[in-house]
Amino acid sequence: LGKRGVDHPEAIGTFRIGYANRTLGYRLGHSQTKAGGTLRARLQSLGFVRASGHEHFTGSLVVPIFTGDGAVGEVYGRKIAEHGLRAGTPTHLYLPGPHAGVFNAAGLIESGVDELVVCESVIDALSLWCNGFRHVTAAYGTSGWTPDHDGLVDRLGVKRVLVAFDADEAG
């Protein structure tokens, strides 16, 4: 996190940042019990646990993204270590299904900005936020602008959008 500039003391609490360390299964009831089986099945249906029983976000910084009504609409995961991963393992993860919610929407609404910086990923937006750019949000990758983003831009009356995507082919 320090290498990415995500070191502001308020970032963890503000964005409810966590870390998936492969211990979720230990904290759930045993799969052979009714309660444990029900909870595991629910987490699997949401995408937190794979059919294999492994955590989807293992080894990732985890950031919940909230909808306008305060519900978790999406979860972003960013692998902490890029070396040692199996070939083809993505470093940026989301829950399966359509994206919902906007990163930092509450902060943007509270500040009443009319200018918005849009990053390609949540980790990029967190870096900018920690370095003083509080009018920042993230798309869900280069093709991840959603109707929720459109609605927030309209609600805020944004007059200028600055796009801060990666300097690579995709960005």
Q: What is the pLDDT of residue 171?
A: 60
Beta carbons within 8 Å of 44's beta carbon, 6+ residues apart? 50, 51
Q: pTM for this one? A: 0.85
Q: Please give the pLDDT value at position 31.
A: 67
CA nearest to 75, candidates 55, 54, 96: 96
- Higher pLDDT among residues 45 and 152, named by residue: 152
Encode pLDDT of 3-51 as tens digits.
888 889 899 999 999 999 887 777 776 667 777 778 878 888 888 888 8
Expressed in angstroms, the distance from the first to the final Cα of the chain is: 22
pLDDT of residue 29: 65
Q: d(Cα 25, Cα 16) in Å, to the nearest integer?
A: 21
Q: What is the pLDDT of residues 59-103, one digit of tens each?
A: 999 999 999 888 899 999 999 887 778 888 888 899 988 999 999
Phi, psi (deg, nearest 5) at residue 108: -65, -40
Digit-coded pLDDT (tens) for 93-130: 999 889 999 999 998 988 888 899 999 999 999 999 99
